[in-house]
């Protein structure tokens, strides 16, 4: 059972988990594409459809990036009411088509001048727009990445041993690079607490890896209350223990060349996302990235995290992407064996309490 099909979860909770997943995929695409214009949510949804069509369908039931117009809203409600009263599935598009046919037949029978039917014509036009609005998304339109259908064996540097039972897809990036994406679902849907993104860059010339971890949580009107997320502090402390305390934020002991300026080697961030109030709410995310250590320092003296205050300690979406790709934030370059041991020791790639988006970018 999908975590979005779990009937024990509140609709709002499932909707926000769905949106976190979309935002996480969009963040991964943005890091990989390295373009000034960020990917759209529709493009992120098209990638989710590649990775897991069932999950894509579940997400589309909960969120609607294509906001419904008033005609569609009305006929969705009527279809729902008729489905209940008739005890069978009634589709809104069928009701709209029937209404168009009825009005067209009336016009033909009445044989009145056009000027006497202008309001009916206007109504028919709005119904056709409603039908257009109900059409499925064009998943091939404006695809930001191309799927790589080649049969190249990448198992030695894409860590197949971690994901023997999981589905993945490779995408072609500019400059002969490759991105492998996976969605890892927890084994127990009822225990899911949010989403995580693990993004790696793998340099084939040196066999070294650098990474960054993002943990997603939902704002409540620009505030994250620790009382609302009782697991937030333990999760942040776990991230700090796994990353910061293990020295992944430390500067390399030996630097072969003189490096350009960079920030501390921070590689763990909280990524707050906005709440979708209803299924037809427009998908918009704040685009803030907050270092875990900064949040833990703040949490000692407050019971909540406010957007207005966090902005002083955050990176914007644009800055975050640019700085990571320029190696100014994120972990230092690490031996692949060191990362392997870290994942095993900390059970990073385990199906536990979060949806994990695992992205590995291969640099030739």
- Tokens 């992120």 locate to 44
Q: Is the pLDDT confidence value at 21 over 60? A: yes
283 in a structural domain: yes
Claim to verify: residue 186 and residue 234 sit in the same structural domain: yes
Give mean pLDDT, residues 255-264: 64
Last residue of a domain, one of 109, 134, 159: 134
**What local confidence, expressed as pLDDT, does residue 156 receive?**
72
**What local confidence, expressed as pLDDT, does residue 166 receive?**
64
Claim to verify: residue 211 and residue 322 sit in the same structural domain: yes
Claim to verify: residue 130 and residue 145 sit in the same structural domain: no
Using alpha carbons, list the distances in angstroms from residue 340 to 223, 236, 268: 36, 22, 18
> Based on the structure, what is the number of domains in the chain?
2
Claim to verify: residue 125 and residue 150 sit in the same structural domain: no
Q: Give me 275's structure tokens.
A: 């709440």
Nearest to 18 by CA among 228, 141, 183: 183
**What local confidence, expressed as pLDDT, does residue 102 receive?**
95
13 in a structural domain: no
Per residue in 320-338, pLDDT (tens digit) is: 998 999 888 999 899 988 8
174 in a structural domain: yes
Percentage of residues of the chain with pLDDT beyond 90: 24
Claim to verify: residue 248 and residue 322 sit in the same structural domain: yes
Burial of 249 (0-12, 13-18, 19+ CB in 10 A): buried
Claim to verify: residue 163 and residue 145 sit in the same structural domain: yes
* Cα angle, residue 38 at apex, residues 34 and 39 outer, rounded to 5°: 100
Q: Can you tell me the distance from the alpha carbon of 196 to that of 331, in angstroms, rounded to the nearest whole number?
A: 17
Q: Is the pLDDT confidence value at 291 over 60? A: yes
Q: Phi-psi category of 232—alpha, beta or left, where left has phi over 0 and alpha has psi -120 to 50?
A: alpha
Using alpha carbons, list the distances in angstroms from residue 362 to 108, 163, 179, 182, 219: 63, 17, 6, 14, 33
Give mean pLDDT, residues 238-267: 76
44 in a structural domain: no
Is 194 within 8 Å of 217 (Cβ atoms)?
yes
Q: Is the pLDDT confidence value at 27 over 90? A: yes
Using alpha carbons, list the distances in angstroms from residue 110 to 48, 155, 305, 310: 50, 70, 65, 65
Q: Can you tell me the distance from the alpha carbon of 220 to that of 161, in angstroms, rounded to the nearest whole number?
A: 39
Q: Phi-psi category of 311—alpha, beta or left, where left has phi over 0 and alpha has psi -120 to 50?
A: alpha
Per residue in 83-135, pLDDT (tens digit) is: 999 999 899 999 999 999 999 999 999 988 888 888 999 899 889 888 877 77
Q: Is the pLDDT confidence value at 65 over 60? A: no
**What local confidence, expressed as pLDDT, does residue 217 receive?**
86
Using alpha carbons, list the distances in angstroms from residue 187 to 3, 30, 353: 9, 28, 8
The answer to which of 6-15, 141-150, 261-270 has the lowest mean pLDDT is 141-150
Last residue of a domain, one of 134, 154, 179: 134
Specify the pTM: 0.76
Q: Can you tell me the distance from the alpha carbon of 172 to that of 181, in angstroms, rounded to the nearest whole number?
A: 11
236 vs 198, residue with greater confidence: 198
336 in a structural domain: yes
The answer to which of 80-84, 174-178, 259-263 has the lowest mean pLDDT is 259-263
Give mean pLDDT, residues 244-255: 77
With residue 76 as reference, give the H or E element that holds it. Answer: helix 70-86
Claim to verify: residue 183 and residue 264 sit in the same structural domain: yes
Nearest to 51 by CA among 17, 14, 24: 24
Q: Phi-psi category of 336—alpha, beta or left, where left has phi over 0 and alpha has psi -120 to 50?
A: alpha
258 vs 21, residue with greater confidence: 21
Nearest to 308 by CA among 224, 228, 222, 232: 222
Q: Is the pLDDT confidence value at 277 over 60? A: no
With residue 86 as reference, give the H or E element that holds it. Answer: helix 70-86
Q: Is the pLDDT confidence value at 241 over 80? A: yes
Claim to verify: residue 128 and residue 216 sit in the same structural domain: no
Per residue in 162-219, pLDDT (tens digit) is: 665 567 889 988 888 899 999 887 766 555 667 889 999 999 888 899 999 999 988 8
Claim to verify: residue 126 and residue 197 sit in the same structural domain: no
Claim to verify: residue 280 and residue 305 sit in the same structural domain: yes
Last residue of a domain, one of 119, 134, 149: 134
49 in a structural domain: no
Claim to verify: residue 281 and residue 157 sit in the same structural domain: yes
25 in a structural domain: no
Q: Is the pLDDT confidence value at 272 over 70? A: yes
**What local confidence, expressed as pLDDT, does residue 104 receive?**
93
Terminal Cα distance for the chain, rounded: 39
16 in a structural domain: no
Nearest to 305 by CA among 313, 295, 315, 314: 295
Claim to verify: residue 204 and residue 329 sit in the same structural domain: yes
Q: Give me 147's structure tokens.
A: 């799927």
DSSP 8-state code for residue 159 = T
Q: Is the pLDDT confidence value at 48 over 70? A: yes
The answer to which of 18-22, 54-58, 127-131, 230-234 has the lowest mean pLDDT is 230-234
Q: How confident is the prediction for the chain on average, in pLDDT?
A: 81
Q: Which domain holds residue 127?
A: 70-134
Is 41 within 8 Å of 56 (Cβ atoms)?
no
Q: Give me 233's structure tokens.
A: 């502090």
């Amino acid at each position: 059972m999908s975590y979005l099909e779990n009937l024990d979860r509140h609709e709002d909770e499932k909707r926000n988990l769905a949106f976190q997943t979309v935002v996480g995929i969009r963040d991964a695409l943005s890091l990989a594409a390295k373009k000034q214009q960020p990917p759209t949510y529709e493009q992120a949804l098209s990638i989710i459809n590649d990775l897991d069509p069932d999950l894509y369908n579940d997400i589309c039931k909960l969120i609607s990036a294509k906001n419904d117009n008033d005609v569609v809203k009305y006929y969705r409600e009527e279809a729902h009411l008729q489905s209940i009263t008739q005890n069978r599935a009634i589709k809104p598009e069928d009701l709209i088509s029937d209404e168009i046919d009825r009005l067209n037949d009336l016009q033909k029978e009445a044989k009145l001048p056009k000027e006497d039917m202008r309001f009916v014509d206007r109504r028919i036009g709005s119904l056709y727009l409603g039908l257009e609005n109900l059409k499925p998304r064009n998943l091939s339109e404006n695809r930001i990445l191309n799927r790589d259908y080649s049969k190249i064996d990448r198992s030695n540097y894409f860590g197949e041993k971690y994901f023997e039972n999981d589905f993945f897809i490779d995408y072609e990036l500019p400059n002969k690079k490759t991105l492998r994406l996976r969605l890892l679902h927890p084994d127990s849907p009822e225990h899911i607490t949010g989403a995580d993104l693990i993004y790696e860059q793998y340099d084939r010339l040196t066999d070294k890896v650098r990474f960054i971890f993002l943990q997603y949580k939902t704002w409540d009107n620009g505030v994250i209350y620790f009382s609302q997320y009782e697991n937030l502090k333990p999760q942040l402390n776990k991230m700090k223990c796994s990353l910061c305390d293990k020295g992944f934020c430390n500067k390399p002991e030996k630097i072969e060349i003189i490096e350009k300026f960079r920030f501390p080697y921070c590689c763990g961030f909280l990524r707050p996302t906005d709440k979708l109030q209803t299924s037809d709410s427009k998908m918009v995310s704040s685009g803030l990235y907050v270092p875990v250590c900064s949040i833990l320092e703040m949490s000692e003296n407050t019971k909540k995290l406010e957007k207005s205050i966090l902005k002083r300690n955050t990176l914007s979406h644009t800055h975050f992407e640019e700085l990571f790709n320029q190696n100014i934030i994120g972990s230092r370059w690490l031996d692949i064996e060191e990362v392997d041991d870290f994942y095993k020791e900390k059970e990073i790639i385990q199906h536990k309490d979060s949806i994990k988006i695992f992205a590995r970018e291969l640099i030739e």
